[in-house]
Structure 1
Amino acid sequence: MRVLGVLIGILGFALVSSARERPNIVWLVSEDNSAGWLRLYSETGAPMPNIEKLSKQGLVFNHAFSCGAVCSVARSTIISGCYAPRTGTQYHRKQKTVGMPDGLKMFPWYLRQAGYYTSNCYKEDYNFDPAEKKGVWDDSSKKATYRNRKPGQPFFHVQNYHTTHESRMHPTNKEYIRKPETDAASVGLFPYHPDTKTFREAYARYLDLHTMLDAEMGQFIQKLEAEGLMEDTFIFYYGDHGGVLPRGKGYIYESGLRVPMVVYVPKKWKHLVPAAPGSCIDGFVEFVDLSATVLNLAGIEIPAGIDGKPFLGRGVDLDELNRRDTAFGYADRFDEKYDLVRTLRKGRFKYMRNYQPFNFDGLHNVYRYKMPAYREWRERYEAGGLHADQRRFFEPRPPECLYDLEKDPHEINNLADDPVYAGKLIELRRLMQARITSMPDLSFIPESVFLAGGRKNPTSYAKEHKEEIAGLVDIADLQMKPFLEAKGQIAKALSSENPWERYWALITCSAFGQQAAPFFDKAKSMAAADEERLVRVRAAEFLGLTGTADPRPVVMDVLRQTTDPVEANLILNTAALLQETNPGCRFDLGEFHSAAWAKNKTSLARNRLDYLAGENQF
């Protein structure tokens, strides 16, 4: 027994000694910041001297991307190291949580196993089951701090900052009533925003918030300096996704995905990075890479199930890093507003695939329209007071877009129909098709259906349905063919025994609009009698968007049948789309306030129901 005790003691000493030879890692994470709002990246950005100081002894990543443009989706990607559409975590806010991918833990778990103290102060916002957090954090709370570690123990600490969060731009927030210190007349407006006092003050106020944020992070950095930790600690600063001005957060334009990222490198550990202090890295890095990067810096083997790859640590070569030129983005449900958009950026070109192109960007969302700038933008659209680039946010989109970001950084000029760029369009389209079918992308199964059958083990569910999902993607991609060429395949899908093939065939009909008139009679019979409720809704949606038949009786009938709040919210998204597209198509939904799925007054379905009833507009 004594020998065993000695051996255990030796092993314990070896573990602690090994842990002591690992660097500390700190994340300073701000909410809702895209790169262009910082002077570090743009002449019109806010001065952030504390972050700029870190950059002089570190690395600036010129092309860092959140994969999702909203908190829970971005953070679920980070904590798992996996693209959200393959793990079922792509919806914000979660209506039900899901299990982690098979054989994979949230990445701080691996740090703890290697002897790290892990702390998070304090936002999590994961879409995974709470049980998946077991063993992940030593402390995750408002009081969490690395100072509670054992003497000599390395630490991984996350410090979250709420200062620039979208809610600070709402009139109900005390910060909003302060007059902006930044001169509103001096700000440079994005070309898709109207030039108004409201927008100029929103820009100025948001720049002010960045200044406040930098001061707060500076205080934290000063404490690290006072404690003598700077020479043993990597400090990452990044925004958790893009900025909050309209068409930023929640949308996967560059304003919603491209984020600031600076990594301070302690001199003692400079051998773990591929470039000299003060360097700028042009290679693309994504949030899905963060977990692999931290584990690699800590000298921990990267689990096979992680999608990302490290951009710092042993084995990372600068030339290879700078050759990385691809970033993948996804936007699905934002609160009660559904969408399905994917982007693939490769170098200077960005491909955007709108799988439901009739589901326009500006469709109402209660939280989003609390911001005065959003409300004014829509009011000016309805009054006819915008030019073409400003109106586009409230109008149907093309199924696919191609942007040259070098010439068109604000993604205004769609090159998809320009024959000069036909080769690039086809290249990126094929890369996108390969990406989403290989994952596979779970958003091609309606959320309520996925949650009923796959939430406990999403990746296993995805494997079981991989072939089916690939077929659904093929049906959706008929939208990009001339109608006469696609017509036969649409007809076949409309008569399929698989309800989700019928479902996607009807979405594709809606994308074609009046061109799909040959299918009006088929859609009428499906709206009246299809055995799947959601197929009936999509048929009614197609008929309503084309003005062929009144969709309201079908939508009302299906709402009476459903008991699932997730399904109800998806149905109500169709109602909101139809009502906003055609003001004469108003829904009288008063009877549903007593429905089981509507009794929770804070639920997403209730938000949508109240809006359609003329309540809870903003």
Structure 2
Amino acid sequence: MRTYRIAFAILLFAAPFLAQAQTTDKPNILWIVSEDNSPFIGAYGDTFATTPNIDKLATQGVLYTNAFATAPVCAPSRSTLITGMYPPSMGTENMRSTYPAPDFVKFYPKYLREAGYYTSNNVKKDYNVDQDQEDAWDESSHDATYQKRKPGQPFFAIFNTTISHESCVHKSIPNDQLRHSPAKVPLPPYHPDTPEMRHDWAQYYDKVEDMDTFVGKILADLEASGEAENTIVFYYSDHGGVLGRSKRFMYESGLHIPLVIRFPKKYAHLAPGQPGTKTDRIVTFLDFAPSLLSLAGVPIPEYMGGKAFLGTQNASEREYAHAFRGRMDERIDLVRSVRDKKYRYIRNYMPHKIYGQYIEYLWRAPSMGSWEAAYKAGTLNDVQKKFWETKPVEELFDVEADPHNVNNLAGDPKYAVLLKKMRQANHDYLVEIKDVGFLPEGRMEEISQTTPLFDYARSGKYDVKKVIETAEMASMGDPRNLKELTKKLTDGDPVIRYWAATGCTILGNKAQSAKGTLINLLSDPEVTVRIAAAEALTKLGEKEKAVQTLTEALNSDIQMARVQALNVLEQLGPEASKAFPAVKQLIDHKKKNADYDLRAAEKILASAGK
């Protein structure tokens, strides 16, 4: 008994030290996150960029050449990061929609805290879900830092900078104060050579340089803290950007991100390569949370949809990076994309909408107005003016040969087999994850008031395969499908009716035989279907009936139904004049200028000189 007591006393005395040793064996992890920038980095081969700190980090770490955001805009991308789930599977794909995530989802820092980590976030959240889960962080603020942790406690820390954010080009800096020359700035082939475009690009390169200075400071602080040899460092951007046709758009310019990861000698065995090397492994934001948990030795929850690309739970390489676009601010669109190591496939489900839909925040950049003015003046070449035209249903790009994605190969017979393969990969993934982004957002808003959309998709009420197939048929714009689309206009599922009506809009005047059924849908019990039918009827000579229906929809209690109706009214221009009093009344009753229906309404009246 005495021996047992001595042994127990020794164990009791040693327990705190054993626990501390066990905890401190875990690597610290530091994320440095910039905003709205593609790999305009010297280490990625950009000779115009001035990024000495990130370039040095790349010589000390591993550079990922195929790292991708899941969305080309912040809040949906960050929804992916914080939950480890693909936003279209749970309804968090539309910009600042804040619909509820399923109850079982924990923000990944919670798992780290439970494993003994100190978690700090400085400072951006923007998770695009309605719950904040404040307890995921020990501290989330402008003052948050790993330096506040307990002695010996491992940390996970984020430092996010807005220096390179889109807003950095809203106010022009005088030319003589710019460090990067507007005259020498390289322009992508899709941008016109205007003074405003050159200036915005040069100013943006200045801001990327400033962002690099921020990265250098965070790394210097880490070195000074004595923790550099215990810390795995990530540098990445939250998506691509920032000038027109990058952020918000489904090209390399919107989705390809810089990612450099440095492993100290202590954790070199966890690195995918030697310092200064590159890897072409495809990784997406869907993989970040699983990889983080894997590095920390935390079991990865089954609901997380990504593949760990680091740590003890390292998974096999993924073949594709999937990406999505839903509503961007006040403009409705629906796009999905698939990327392998060489090609990008894009599927446009609303090809009747132009790429360059007016978005108030995007148009704050002087370069956007100059691009639009050049289009109206007829001075653009074929590549530059595509942005102002309707979209093809499918796009396919050889990214190695065409990094700016301007040569669409989808219609080239030589790529027919590849196109079919990537089209099928896209279709299969949408069905597999039960993509709820194909619900009209007004319907999503209604459902989410009582049920998380993830749960709704698995309730038996959402026939995802039928919905996807209808959306694919509708988007093709093939008159041979009109008979089937007309039949679907009377389907018992309002989502099928919505997509069938959208298909008639895409067919335009070729959908004349469906006019009678579409008129009947103006009294449909579902407001999003009424609006979709009204939009189709604007193409079939029934604009007066359509405008009346759209005007009535502005009184809906559902904000996203109002946005849907306003999008159609704006396309009509002066022909929607009978709706202008209702549009003005909507503005008069709104108070928050961040409301997307208000932005859409104001644009209608501004265009009409009202």
TM-score band, normalised by the shorter chain? over 0.9
Deviations 1:422-449 (A, max 9, x none): 1111111111111111111111112222
Query: Residues 391 and 584 from structure 1, CA distance in 2 versus in 1: closer, same or farther, beyond 3 angstroms?
Result: farther
Quote the residue 1:104 is aligned against: 105
Give the CA deviation at 1:341: 0.6
Deviations 1:112-171 (A, max 9, x none): 0010000000000111233x4142000001110111000010100000011101111102
Give the CA deviation at 1:466: 6.9
Contact 1:102–1:459 (Cα < 8 Å) also in 2: no
CA RMSD of aligned residues (A): 2.5
Give the CA deviation at 1:470: 1.9
- Check if 1:88 corresponds to 2:91: yes
Quote the residue 2:256 is aligned against: 258
Alignment of 1:217-366 (within 5 A): 217-316=215-314, 320-321=316-317, 324-366=318-360
Contact 1:598–1:606 (Cα < 8 Å) also in 2: no
Q: Unaligned regions of 5+ residues in structure 2, if any?
A: none
Amino acid at match of 1:107: Y
Contact 1:61–1:281 (Cα < 8 Å) also in 2: yes
Query: Residues 452 and 482 from structure 1, CA distance in 2 versus in 1: closer, same or farther, beyond 3 angstroms?
Result: closer
- Check if 1:64 corresponds to 2:52: no
Amino acid at match of 1:47: T
Query: Residues 475 and 155 from structure 1, CA distance in 2 versus in 1: closer, same or farther, beyond 3 angstroms?
Result: same
* Equivalent of residue 602 in structure 2, options 601, 605, 610: 610
Contact 2:474–2:502 (Cα < 8 Å) also in 1: no
* Equivalent of residue 41 in structure 2, options 38, 50, 53: 38
Query: Residues 282 and 10 from structure 1, CA distance in 2 versus in 1: closer, same or farther, beyond 3 angstroms?
Result: same
Give the CA deviation at 1:4: 11
Query: Residues 99 and 9 from structure 1, CA distance in 2 versus in 1: closer, same or farther, beyond 3 angstroms?
Result: farther
Query: Residues 331 and 243 from structure 1, CA distance in 2 versus in 1: closer, same or farther, beyond 3 angstroms?
Result: same
Task: State the alpha-carbon separation in 1 of the partners of residues 291 and 157 from structure 2.
Answer: 15
Task: State the alpha-carbon separation in 1 of the partners of residues 608 and 283 from structure 2.
Answer: 40
Give the CA deviation at 1:588: 4.2
Query: Residues 572 and 12 from structure 1, CA distance in 2 versus in 1: closer, same or farther, beyond 3 angstroms?
Result: farther
Contact 1:526–1:536 (Cα < 8 Å) also in 2: yes
Contact 2:149–2:155 (Cα < 8 Å) also in 1: yes
Quote the residue 2:127 is aligned against: 126
Quote the residue 1:375 is aligned against: 369
* Equivalent of residue 20 in structure 1, options 18, 21, 24: 24
Contact 1:25–1:234 (Cα < 8 Å) also in 2: yes
Give the CA deviation at 1:412: 1.4
Give the CA deviation at 1:10: 6.5
Query: Residues 118 and 197 from structure 1, CA distance in 2 versus in 1: closer, same or farther, beyond 3 angstroms?
Result: same
Quote the residue 2:557 is aligned against: 563
Contact 1:98–1:457 (Cα < 8 Å) also in 2: yes
Task: State the alpha-carbon separation in 2 of the partners of residues 180 and 537 from structure 1.
Answer: 48
Quote the residue 1:514 is aligned against: 509
Amino acid at match of 1:160: N
Contact 1:563–1:597 (Cα < 8 Å) also in 2: no
Task: State the alpha-carbon separation in 1 of the partners of residues 447 and 553 from structure 2.
Answer: 21
- The answer to which of 384-393 and 508-517 deviates more is 508-517
Contact 1:564–1:597 (Cα < 8 Å) also in 2: no
Amino acid at match of 2:604: L
Task: State the alpha-carbon separation in 2 of the partners of residues 446 and 584 from structure 1.
Answer: 25
Amino acid at match of 1:105: K
Amino acid at match of 2:284: E
Deviations 1:158-205 (A, max 9, x none): 00011101111102x7x5787321111212211111111111111111
Quote the residue 1:135 is aligned against: 135
Query: Residues 25 and 232 from structure 1, CA distance in 2 versus in 1: closer, same or farther, beyond 3 angstroms?
Result: same
- Check if 1:497 corresponds to 2:492: yes
Task: State the alpha-carbon separation in 2 of the partners of residues 333 and 283 from structure 1.
Answer: 30
Contact 2:108–2:289 (Cα < 8 Å) also in 1: yes
Deviations 1:37-59 (A, max 9, x none): 22221334412111111111210
Contact 1:597–1:605 (Cα < 8 Å) also in 2: no
Q: Unaligned regions of 5+ residues in structure 1, if any?
A: none
Tell me, what secondary structure is at the counterpart of 2:300? Answer: coil
Give the CA deviation at 1:615: 7.5
Query: Residues 184 and 332 from structure 1, CA distance in 2 versus in 1: closer, same or farther, beyond 3 angstroms?
Result: same
- Check if 1:50 corresponds to 2:53: yes
Task: State the alpha-carbon separation in 1 of the partners of residues 564 and 552 from structure 2.
Answer: 14
Tell me, what secondary structure is at the counterpart of 1:135? Answer: helix
- The answer to which of 97-106 and 59-68 deviates more is 97-106
Task: State the alpha-carbon separation in 1 of the partners of residues 583 and 13 from structure 2.
Answer: 66
Tell me, what secondary structure is at the counterpart of 2:463? Answer: helix
Task: State the alpha-carbon separation in 1 of the partners of residues 137 and 9 from structure 2.
Answer: 29
Task: State the alpha-carbon separation in 2 of the partners of residues 199 and 295 from structure 1.
Answer: 42
Contact 1:483–1:516 (Cα < 8 Å) also in 2: no
- The answer to which of 406-415 and 60-69 deviates more is 406-415
Tell me, what secondary structure is at the counterpart of 1:181? Answer: coil
| TM-score for the superposition, normalised by structure 1 | 0.92
Tell me, what secondary structure is at the counterpart of 2:280? Answer: strand
- The answer to which of 83-92 and 139-148 deviates more is 83-92
Query: Residues 331 and 7 from structure 1, CA distance in 2 versus in 1: closer, same or farther, beyond 3 angstroms?
Result: farther
* Equivalent of residue 29 in structure 1, options 16, 28, 33: 33
| TM-score for the superposition, normalised by structure 2 | 0.93
Quote the residue 1:168 is aligned against: 168
Tell me, what secondary structure is at the counterpart of 2:537? Answer: helix
- The answer to which of 459-468 and 436-445 deviates more is 459-468
Task: State the alpha-carbon separation in 2 of the partners of residues 590 and 11 from structure 1.
Answer: 74
Give the CA deviation at 1:407: 2.1
Task: State the alpha-carbon separation in 1 of the partners of residues 74 and 64 from structure 2.
Answer: 21
Contact 1:183–1:204 (Cα < 8 Å) also in 2: yes
Query: Residues 4 and 538 from structure 1, CA distance in 2 versus in 1: closer, same or farther, beyond 3 angstroms?
Result: farther
Give the CA deviation at 1:467: 4.7
Quote the residue 1:116 is aligned against: 117
Tell me, what secondary structure is at the counterpart of 1:283? Answer: coil
Quote the residue 2:144 is aligned against: 144
Contact 1:587–1:613 (Cα < 8 Å) also in 2: no
Query: Residues 129 and 540 from structure 1, CA distance in 2 versus in 1: closer, same or farther, beyond 3 angstroms?
Result: closer
- The answer to which of 531-540 and 230-239 deviates more is 531-540
Deviations 1:363-422 (A, max 9, x none): 111111111111111122122221221111111111211122122221212222222211
Task: State the alpha-carbon separation in 1 of the partners of residues 575 and 201 from structure 2.
Answer: 35
Task: State the alpha-carbon separation in 2 of the partners of residues 610 and 596 from structure 1.
Answer: 7
Query: Residues 598 and 6 from structure 1, CA distance in 2 versus in 1: closer, same or farther, beyond 3 angstroms?
Result: farther
Task: State the alpha-carbon separation in 1 of the partners of residues 326 and 10 from structure 2.
Answer: 56
Contact 2:456–2:462 (Cα < 8 Å) also in 1: no
Tell me, what secondary structure is at the counterpart of 1:88? Answer: coil
Amino acid at match of 2:154: P
Quote the residue 1:600 is aligned against: 591
Query: Residues 402 and 115 from structure 1, CA distance in 2 versus in 1: closer, same or farther, beyond 3 angstroms?
Result: same
Task: State the alpha-carbon separation in 1 of the partners of residues 159 and 231 from structure 2.
Answer: 14
Give the CA deviation at 1:557: 2.4
Contact 1:104–1:303 (Cα < 8 Å) also in 2: no
Contact 1:575–1:587 (Cα < 8 Å) also in 2: no
Task: State the alpha-carbon separation in 2 of the partners of residues 128 and 93 from structure 1.
Answer: 8
Query: Residues 587 and 608 from structure 1, CA distance in 2 versus in 1: closer, same or farther, beyond 3 angstroms?
Result: farther
- The answer to which of 515-524 and 369-378 deviates more is 515-524
Give the CA deviation at 1:518: 2.2
- Check if 1:384 corresponds to 2:378: yes
Alignment of 1:470-489 (within 5 A): 470-479=465-474, 483-489=478-484
Contact 1:445–1:469 (Cα < 8 Å) also in 2: no
Give the CA deviation at 1:596: 9.2
- Check if 1:534 corresponds to 2:532: no
Give the CA deviation at 1:566: 2.6
- Check if 1:450 corresponds to 2:444: yes
Task: State the alpha-carbon separation in 1 of the partners of residues 319 and 492 from structure 2.
Answer: 41
Give the CA deviation at 1:297: 0.9
Amino acid at match of 2:591: N
